[in-house]
Structure 1
Amino acid sequence: MRIDISMLPALAAAFMLIFARIGAMVMLLPGLGEVNIPVRLRLGIALALTLILLPLHRSDYHVNMTTMAPMLVLLVHEIIIGVVLGATARVTLSALAVAGSVIAQQLGLGFVTTVDPTQGQQGALIGNFLTILGLTLLFATDMHHLVIAALDQSYKIFSPGELMPSGDVAALATRAFATAFKIGIQLSAPFIVFGLVFNLGLGVLARLMPQMQVFFIGVPLSILGGFLMLAAVVAIMMGTFLDYFGGVMHELTPRG
């Protein structure tokens, strides 16, 4: 019995290129690309996704095996695409960090910081709480399936071997940053109104009763009222964020 192995080099090249795109995206994905996630686990997830997508998109790659230059160009191209997709999802999650920072400032807790497990650096306490809660809900509601679908459908947006549309990528990045900031401000809008009204009330009280130590009364009341408001609106905030995240992923998943 004879076994034809002439297709192995082309298959290995396609595997490497698909793995480059998926691996670069997984290293930046929310929940999977965190610094405290073991590298072997991230590598295993990237390899598993590569094995799943390889039969679907192997024919999209036409690699010239006679020289290494086209292979290296394609490899860099795939890594850049993976970084763009992963960074888009990562920036989407940053809307919660923006909202948490604004909320903390309005409640007088802007100086209270802890280590953000998703970034490995200091962040506002409420922002870290919202980020972890958002990540939990993304996996609990199977929204991470949309990320995998966007990765699969990315071969329709960024076809292998074609020149990357730098204008579209720049527009995607600009829109992602602007929308994340806008959603973060919208999520924290009730607390901005609360902070404005509360501080105006304290100002009026200080003018009416100059002998009262308004600061010692205002800070505890501001924190208490802010936490009560957070408990009341956190479900709506997370629902809005999930709708926003799903909308961004659907933009990366063209139909047809």
Structure 2
Amino acid sequence: MLGFGLAIEPQLWALIFVMIRVGAAFAAAPVFGAVGVPVTVRVTLAGAIGFLVLAAHPVTPPAQIFTVATMLAIAAEALVGAALGFVLQIGFAAPMVAAEMIGGSMGLGFASAIDPQNGKSSPALGQFFSVMLTLLFLSVDGHLMLVDMIVRSYDAMPVGNAWLGADRLRAIAYFGGYTFLAGLLLALPVGFLLLSLNIVVGMISRAAPALNLFAIGLPASLAVGVLALAIAFPAMGDYMLVIVRESLAATERLVFG
């Protein structure tokens, strides 16, 4: 117990213990873990969802706080919550990979700004993709699915038996490869067209070496890239939905095996 001798003390310790997994998931997950979301909001959401967990599952926290077993249980709860959010974060990294490929071919590799999701500098095109993926994630109720999986995770991984096994850790590592595959497929329509344009420009440079390719190639790549993005974005939006579903499915497999 906390050591205050109050009647509310066991319930308060149980709520704090439950909030560890929920808070770790929110800190690592996209949307909830964005820099623009205040810490107060995240703590309040974790407490509200903690009440739901306590109402749906009989959670029995460790009896003593300052013991090795309790510290290991807290570490296990934080590990499970961080893993749930991290798997979704892996899927959300796919648009950044696609933006690096497309932006480099279009000549927009130098255009970068502060990403509101993580507070770091990222390509401008990557921010556009990231915002679209976030909106699609919210449109299919991905945030509600994440909360539902966090609550149901106490059935599959109850308190005291929440360590991730080697198979689950291996699944997280394998899903990391999906980021590069999804980013490649997302950038494929526009990237292939820009690659074809670069081949044509290279052939022209061999046929007419006197031409200034910097004055011709860069505006052409930029114009063709913007036009290709406008044409291919409906298909790219459909594939972003696939990325969202695959990320949620990977999170569910992490919880239920």
What TM-score does the superposition give when structure 2 sets the normalisation length?
A: 0.88
Task: Say if 2:59 is the partner of 1:55.
Answer: no
Within a 5 Å distance, the mapping from 1:244-255 to structure 2 comes to 244-253=243-252
Q: In the TM superposition, what whole-angstrom CA distance separates every residue of 1:3-58 from its partner, at most 9, and x where no partner exists?
A: xx99844433321221100011111221121112211112222112112222112x
CA distance in 2, matches of 1:15, 1:47: 7
Within a 5 Å distance, the mapping from 1:1-256 to structure 2 comes to 8-57=8-57, 59=58, 61-65=59-63, 68-69=66-67, 70-162=69-161, 164-253=163-252
**Offset of residue 163 of structure 1:** 5.5
**Offset of residue 123 of structure 1:** 0.7
* 8 Å CA contact retained: 1:114, 1:122: yes
AA at the equivalent of 1:11: Q
**Offset of residue 134 of structure 1:** 1.1
Mark the CA change 1:71 to 1:8 in structure 2 (over 3 Å): closer, same or farther: farther
Q: In the TM superposition, what whole-angstrom CA distance separates every residue of 1:56-115 from its partner, at most 9, and x where no partner exists?
A: 12x1x3444256423332222111111111111112111111111111011111111111
* 8 Å CA contact retained: 1:17, 1:74: no
Mark the CA change 1:150 to 1:23 in structure 2 (over 3 Å): closer, same or farther: same
* 8 Å CA contact retained: 2:96, 2:129: yes
CA distance in 1, matches of 2:171, 2:135: 26
* 8 Å CA contact retained: 2:61, 2:159: no
Mark the CA change 1:162 to 1:111 in structure 2 (over 3 Å): closer, same or farther: same
CA distance in 2, matches of 1:66, 1:220: 67
CA distance in 2, matches of 1:21, 1:240: 31
* 8 Å CA contact retained: 2:190, 2:232: no
* 8 Å CA contact retained: 1:146, 1:246: no
* 8 Å CA contact retained: 1:32, 1:42: yes
AA at the equivalent of 2:167: D
Bigger mean CA offset, 26-35 vs 156-165: 156-165
**Offset of residue 207 of structure 1:** 2.0
Bigger mean CA offset, 121-130 vs 68-77: 68-77
* 8 Å CA contact retained: 1:17, 1:75: yes
CA distance in 1, matches of 2:88, 2:33: 11
SS at match of 2:31: coil
CA distance in 1, matches of 2:134, 2:99: 14
AA at the equivalent of 2:94: A
CA distance in 2, matches of 1:194, 1:121: 30
Unaligned runs of 5+ residues in structure 2 are none
AA at the equivalent of 2:112: T
* 8 Å CA contact retained: 2:87, 2:250: no
What TM-score does the superposition give when structure 1 sets the normalisation length?
A: 0.88
Bigger mean CA offset, 76-85 vs 189-198: 189-198
* 8 Å CA contact retained: 1:36, 1:117: yes
Mark the CA change 1:173 to 1:53 in structure 2 (over 3 Å): closer, same or farther: same
AA at the equivalent of 1:115: I
Mark the CA change 1:62 to 1:53 in structure 2 (over 3 Å): closer, same or farther: closer
CA distance in 2, matches of 1:14, 1:206: 70
* 8 Å CA contact retained: 1:146, 1:250: no
CA distance in 1, matches of 2:214, 2:22: 53
AA at the equivalent of 1:141: V
AA at the equivalent of 1:65: A
